[in-house]
Amino acid sequence: MASSSIERRKLRNGLRVVLAPDRSAPVVAVAVYYDVGIRSEPQDRTGFAHLFEHLMFQGSASLGKMELASLISASGGVLNGSTRLDYTNYYEMLPSNALDRALFLEADRMGWPAVTQENLDNQIAVVKEEIRVNVMNEPYGGFPWLTLAPVLYESWANAHDGYGSFVDLESATLEDARDFFDKYYAPGNAVLAVSGDFEVDHALELVHHHFDPVPKRAVPPRPDFDEPAPTSERRGEQHDADAPAPAVALGWRVPDPGDLAAYLPYVVLASSLATGDASRLRRRLVQDDRLATDIGCHLGLMEDAFDVRNPCPFVLEAHHPGDVPTDKVVAAVDEELDRLATDGLASDELTRVTARLRSGMLQGSDNLLRRTLAMAAYEQQRGRAELVHEMPERLAEVTAEQVAAAAGTLRPDVRARLDLIAGAA
């Protein structure tokens, strides 16, 4: 694993910077995380955070449309961006001699993106086409990451469709876009993470050169999106004419991900239930009783267990044959949860599960870009980029008793249940 040395700075305009030198290969990774995501977008502007992510690739004061991507590619690099519940990020990995170029490009769009009517109109069209392809015309489109939320949550921020409705997207104005940039894309609302082959002093010189000119602006207060957890079972249905078979998603609220001691047992629980052929629910429902064709568990609606804030759900998703009643699948899940809560995990089972989780994290950290993204997310959400190195050991500290206690909270009377009805109505 790479060196754990992390340098931290804060620029005059408020930008937080974390640097992690690693001279093992001649490459660098750069990531900028803005503290704005789906939960932050204005009411009646569903999909706006994602739409704005698209706009940030459409040019800037110094660059034409898509020129940023062309310059990264010409340098031998790769780039992308994403919109999640609690952040929007932009990142690239490229040869270390192109670090200056990458920092210039990120600073240029942080300070002076081309937010124009033409770019807004064409990116609304692009996002609408994404929704058609990925949700409207795709079997199980939006299930369950878009469709479970309004069953589990009550507040608009947590429950609304983060991809966006056509009505809301088409209603977006240039003033909306410019206001969104002014409010959420201030340097003080962002984290810049740089990892790889560089000398810290030289990298800081480049960071100051490119980012110091970006004007300081007011940073919005971070909203508190918490809301009361369900006190009874909530149910919903999703009808999907394109789906070949039915499915069910169950969701429970879990402790604040910022409280790792309370939260990490649920991460271990999810893995013990449905990761690998030896996992409990896969053995019981898929292999032995043949009640399901596939089953999975994860933390976070977007499967982002380690880069999401409160409130966060534990999600269980099962696909099953049409001749198997959904109630039978859910009853089997409840039986296995009760058994685990009562009997706990055997010591060899806990060792196997935590070893797999830790191994996956350590292997991920060997990838420079994945390590940089994790470092940026931990800094943005926890103020501790060092968690990228500490998290495997934190997982190793989870006990069988904690996992059993977590399973005991996943009761029918505090969950959301979403049944996907397959085929034409």
For residue 4, is pLDDT > 90?
no
Mean pLDDT value across residues 11-23: 97
Mean pLDDT of 270-284: 95
User: Could you please report the per-residue DSSP string of 182-200?
Assistant: HHH--GGGEEEEEEES--H
Q: How far is 139 from 376, CA to CA, in rounded Å?
A: 34
Q: Report yes or no: 172 and 48 within 8 Å, Cβ to Cβ.
A: yes
Cis peptide leading into residue 144 (ω within 30°): yes
Average pLDDT (304-309) is 94
Answering whether pTM is above 0.85, one says yes
pLDDT at 135: 94
The whole-chain average pLDDT of the chain stands at 96
* Residue 167 Cα distances to 45, 52, 122, 198, angstroms: 9, 16, 16, 47
Tell me the DSSP string of 35-98. Answer: S--GGGSPTT-TTHHHHHHHHTTS-BSS--TTHHHHHHHHTT-EEEEEE-SS-EEEEEEEEGGG
- CA 375 and chain centroid, separation: 14
Amino acid 425: pLDDT: 58
Contact at 8 Å (CB) between 380 and 33?
yes
Residues 177-216 as b/e (b if ≥16 CB within 10 A, e otherwise) read beebbebbbbbbbbbbbbbbbbeeeebbebbeebbeebee
Domains of the chain with bracketed CATH: 7-211 (3.30.830.10), 234-422 (3.30.830.10)
Q: Any idea what DSSP says for residue 29?
A: E
- Rg over alpha carbons for the chain, rounded to the nearest Å, is 22
Encoded tokens for 114: 């081309």
- At residue 1 the predicted structure's pLDDT band, cuts being 50, 70 and 90, is very low
Backbone conformation region of residue 59, classed left if phi is above 0, alpha if psi is from -120 to 50, else beta = left
Among the listed residues 44, 39, 42, 43, the one whose alpha carbon sits nearest the alpha carbon of residue 167: 44
pLDDT tens-digit series, residues 197-220: 999 999 999 999 999 999 999 999
| Position 234 pLDDT exceeds 70 | yes
Per-residue pLDDT for 156 more than 50?
Answer: yes
Beta-carbon contacts of 23 under 8 Å, excluding residues fewer than 6 positions away, are 197
Share of the chain above pLDDT 70, in %: 99
Residue 107's CB: how many other CB atoms inside 10 A? 24
Percent of the chain with pLDDT over 90: 95
pLDDT category at 44 given cuts 50, 70, 90 is confident
Question: Is residue 421 very low, low, confident or very high in pLDDT (cuts 50, 70, 90)?
Answer: very high
Q: What are phi and psi of 283, to 5 degrees?
A: -65, -50
Sorting pLDDT into bands at 50, 70 and 90, what band is 29? very high
Sheet strands (E) in 255-322: 294-299, 312-319
d(CA 58, CA 67): 8
DSSP string, 395-417: HHT--HHHHHHHHHH--GGGEEE
d(CA 261, CA 39): 25
pLDDT band at 116, cuts 50/70/90?
very high
User: What's the token pair of residue 421?
Assistant: 């009805």
Where does residue 403 rank: exposed (0-12), middle (13-18), buried (19+ CB within 10 A)?
A: buried
Q: Provide the 8-state DSSP code for 161.
A: -
